[in-house]
Structure 1
Amino acid sequence: MGALSDVFLAIDAGTGSARALAFDIEGRLVTQAAREWTHVAVPGHPGGTVFDTDGGWTAIAGAVSEVVARLGERRVAAVAASSMREGFVLSDAEGRELWACPNTDGRARAEAEELVAEGVADEVYRTAGDWVSITAPARLRWIARHQPDVLAAARHFGMLSDWVTTRLTGAFVTEPTSGSSSALFDLRARDWSDELAGLVGIDRRILPPVVECGQVVGAVTAEASAATGLPAGTPV
């Protein structure tokens, strides 16, 4: 018998679960595993929910480890991440997560209404093609108002799939399908909008470089390898 073909691993940080799926070169599903998760409510802020980055990574690592164990001698040729839209993570200069939310987080309703009243929401829609009800502009204003120390310490902004990539490689990047769900993107330019960043009041420098889908941005680190079972050096 010939050698088993390589597989390509997709990691999905979904609303209700973390999933790992291995596909062959023809796009056929070889095996998959999942870990369900829930998002804790924010006391004192109706509708608010938090994304648990430590628990989330444990769930992702568990699902990936299960898939890797099932693959046996089959090699994982590359890894890519996807996620629920709108959820994002703020990290400090050392890469430690400071604040994270899933797409279910609704604590910034008042801030969203303010952005509508000020006309900022109209500009967000014209440029980014999205509303402000559960996207980053309102949530960032909420953080500035309720947790200003967090925003002051933030040096990296990333959507949840970007965070998975960072956990795997240490790299801070985004790609248009993910980054655009922030409502801070210029859809025509396929890049962050300096104008929207200014209107929302955030430092443009915390927004990561934009790469195209399929571009290799790094490799699985030794630390991520120990957690997931993926060989260190696997392209991501």
Structure 2
Amino acid sequence: MHLGMDIGTSGVKAVLVNEAGAIVATAARELTLSHPAPLWSEQDPDAWFEAAVGAVDALASSNSREIAQVRGIGLSGQMHGATLLGEDGRPLRPAILWNDGRSHAECAALERYCPLLRNISGNLAMPGFTAPKLLWVARHEPEIFERIAKVLLPKAYVRYRLTGEMVEDMSDAAGTLWLDVGQRRWSELLLKATGLDLHHMPRLVEGSEVSAHLAPEFTRRWGMANDVLVAGGAGDCAASAIGLGAIAPGDAFLSLGTSGVVFRVTDRFAPAPASAVHAFCHALPGLWHQMGVMLSAAASLAWLSGIMGTSAAALLSPLGEAVDGPSPVKFLPYLDGERTPHNDAAATGAFVGLRGVTGRDQMVQAVLEGVAFAARDNLVALGHASSAITELDLVGGGSRSALWAQICADVLGIPVHRVEEGEVGAALGAARLGRLAATGERPAAVCTRPRRLATFEPRATAAAAYEDAYHQWRKLYPALKEDV
């Protein structure tokens, strides 16, 4: 039996997985975000830990026999979050998250100061990454910066609280802008550019390697054996890939979570910063991946449901499982800025084409289409970086909607597959990494593909209409950017 924990932005999920690879039980705890100023996004690091413990407490209460058999634990987590610890191991301030846009000026300064940044890290300096956040702290909160003893990412902080060890895996570390991604080691040059050195960094391991042992306090609390291993784990997208069995070059998927990602596995370090494509280490040795990232995918629908005072399910229900063609309204999903392809933390969302007769259903459809159009932007960017993607598995909370899946297929022009356990992919992937660390099995034997529940093919008439709509939608960002 193996346990996976996914430290997300909106909540923590925990899953128990048996030796056959099936999910036995799940538990979740919600998290809240803080936005104390425009472009700011923060969370209390201790809230991650408390939610993780609470989720496993629930599993231990309802599945005590199974939890007692756990031998390996894997952690997945939201990437990039700057968790700053003092000498006592306690957070010095709230963590600055992946969707925080305050450090755009620091990104420009970092690129000027370190011309080799893109070559080493494989990525543009973007406000979402960790390194610019530290430059912001150094500039605006120097008294805190001087007290920093360690910088951890969210899941590494939870690992530290569960094991007493400060360790990070390669996939998550690649999202800091401090990793030499091709060589899979910290870069002293990049650290120096932000006033840090190797002493500020956790130890590095591969995602499938043993990182630490679960502390006795928690083995007793949950009724586990004394030798429970904790794997290196992975950033949320790489963990989702492990959960989907995306471990061969060319494997790809689309995630419609809080943020959105188009993900492709590569067998080499393949940076493409000119297209704002991310190039990171995968969670397994000898593999890397490319990602196009949109900052507000399912979050856009959640925002609309909050504005309209009803659930996302209630918004989607009147539209059924398919629409005939594009909404007359267009939506830019840049509620938290955007990464691929614009790299613009100041980008804003917008509805365009509203009229007196516009109804709620047209606005809801526009949000789904706006996210799908942004996913196509990502697909185009990845196509410029290497070979074209010809099909995608669909994961994340947005994968629940057959309507959204069909819109994605029509907009992207390729088959989209909804898969089993698509909503817990990252936690499942984490559990698989925990198993690999505990057993030493071959990844191919453990990281199998999930069953495809449905395939959504592009419909010729709708796809043609969306082709025109996409090119019209593409004109909105530069037009609105120019006017702002």
Query: Quick check: TM above 0.5?
Result: yes
Question: What are the within-5 Å matches in structure 2 for residues 62-101 of structure 1?
Answer: 62-74=54-66, 75-99=69-93, 100-101=95-96
1:53 alignment partner, one of 16, 32, 45: 45
Provide the rounded CA distance (Å) in 1 between the counterparts of 2:13 and 2:187.
31
Question: What are the within-5 Å matches in structure 2 for residues 80-229 of structure 1?
Answer: 80-99=74-93, 100-116=95-111, 118=112, 120=114, 123-133=116-126, 134-225=128-219, 229=222
Cα-to-partner distance string for 1:160-217 (whole Å, 9 max, x where unaligned): 1211211110101111011111111001110111111112221321111111222222
Provide the rounded CA distance (Å) in 2 between the counterparts of 1:188 and 1:33.
36
After TM superposition, give the deviation of residue 88 of structure 1 in Å. 2.9
Provide the rounded CA distance (Å) in 2 between the counterparts of 1:189 and 1:40.
36
The match for 2:335 is: none
The percent of aligned pairs where both chains have the same amino acid is 27
Q: How many residues align?
A: 225
The match for 2:433 is: none
Cα-to-partner distance string for 1:16-75 (whole Å, 9 max, x where unaligned): 211111111232111111112121113xx4211212112222211111111222222121
After TM superposition, give the deviation of residue 132 of structure 1 in Å. 2.0
Provide the rounded CA distance (Å) in 2 between the counterparts of 1:152 and 1:16.
31
Q: Specify every segment of 5 or more residues in structure 2 that has no aligned partner in the other structure, as ranges.
A: 231-484
1:31 and 2:37 correspond: no
Provide the rounded CA distance (Å) in 1 between the counterparts of 2:113 and 2:84.
26
Provide the rounded CA distance (Å) in 2 between the counterparts of 1:225 and 1:52.
25
Does the residue aligned with 2:136 lie in a helix, a strand or coil? helix
Give the letter for the 1:145 counterpart.
R
Higher relative contact order (CA 8 A, sep 6+): 1
Q: Which one has a bigger Cα radius of gyration?
A: 2
After TM superposition, give the deviation of residue 81 of structure 1 in Å. 0.7
Give the letter for the 1:30 counterpart.
V
Q: Say whether the 8 Å CA contact 2:12–2:29 is kept in structure 1.
A: yes
Give the letter for the 1:132 counterpart.
A
Q: Say whether the 8 Å CA contact 1:185–1:192 is kept in structure 2.
A: yes
- From the superposition, tell whether residues 230 and 93 of structure 1 become closer, same or farther in structure 2 (CA, over 3 Å): farther
Does the residue aligned with 1:182 lie in a helix, a strand or coil? coil
Does the residue aligned with 1:76 lie in a helix, a strand or coil? coil
Provide the rounded CA distance (Å) in 1 between the counterparts of 2:137 and 2:225.
36
Q: Say whether the 8 Å CA contact 1:86–1:159 is kept in structure 2.
A: yes
Give the letter for the 2:121 counterpart.
A
Give the letter for the 1:214 counterpart.
S
Give the letter for the 1:108 counterpart.
S
Give the letter for the 2:160 counterpart.
T
Provide the rounded CA distance (Å) in 2 between the counterparts of 1:156 and 1:111.
20
Provide the rounded CA distance (Å) in 2 between the counterparts of 1:230 and 1:166.
20
Does the residue aligned with 1:195 lie in a helix, a strand or coil? helix
Give the letter for the 1:158 counterpart.
L
Q: Say whether the 8 Å CA contact 1:76–1:230 is kept in structure 2.
A: no
The match for 1:3 is: none
The match for 1:235 is: 229
Give the letter for the 1:211 counterpart.
V
Range that drifts further, 216-225 or 186-195: 216-225
Provide the rounded CA distance (Å) in 2 between the counterparts of 1:220 and 1:38.
27
